[in-house]
């Protein structure tokens, strides 16, 4: 499938810094079924389901916490919550409601905080 053209001023790609590439790929693959394009030991592209890449995992010796919050979408928040827990993610905010749906926050094995939201 052909990748669409980038859109002016739209977020196009996101990089997640990780301290252990193998563990990060295992975690994100297990929790979200992500697949990767390997570009050597220090970088792995995150494959989009429809072709192309959504971002990448970048190996770093240490992380700076804080900054923008990456929020993923789920059609089944409870199943995704269970999957993140099973993969070893640490839940930092249990599911809560907000205008438009529900979401939870978690920490990955490298200490990055992300969130997942659903309309239900």
Q: Is residue 81 part of a domain?
A: yes
Q: Is residue 38 part of a domain?
A: yes
pLDDT at position 1 is 46
Q: Is residue 18 part of a domain?
A: yes
Its pTM stands at 0.90
From residue 20, alpha-carbon distances to 6, 58, 69, 72, 103 in Å are: 30, 9, 20, 21, 27
Q: Is residue 8 part of a domain?
A: no
pLDDT digit string, tens, across residues 32-58: 999 999 999 999 999 999 899 999 999
Q: Is residue 56 part of a domain?
A: yes
pLDDT at position 65 is 81
Q: Give the percent of the chain with pLDDT over 90.
A: 82
The alpha carbon of 106 is separated from its chain's Cα centroid by a whole number of angstroms, namely 10
pLDDT at position 3 is 58
Q: Which CATH number is 87's domain given?
A: 3.10.180.10
Looking at the structure of the chain, the number of domains it has is 1
pLDDT digit string, tens, across residues 73-83: 999 999 999 99
Q: Is residue 3 part of a domain?
A: no
Range of the domain at 97: 14-62+69-118
């Amino acid at each position: 499938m052909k990748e669409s053209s980038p859109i002016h001023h739209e977020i196009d790609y996101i990089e997640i810094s990780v301290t252990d590439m193998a563990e990060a790929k295992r975690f994100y693959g297990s929790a979200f079924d992500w697949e990767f394009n390997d570009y050597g030991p220090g970088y792995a592209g995150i494959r989009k389901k429809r072709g192309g890449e959504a971002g990448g995992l970048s190996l770093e010796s240490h992380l700076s916490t804080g900054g923008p919050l990456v929020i993923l979408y789920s059609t089944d928040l409870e199943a995704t919550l269970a999957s993140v827990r099973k993969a070893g993610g640490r839940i930092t905010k249990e599911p809560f409601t907000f205008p438009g749906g529900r979401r939870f926050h978690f920490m990955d094995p490298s200490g990055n905080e992300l969130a997942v939201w659903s309309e239900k």
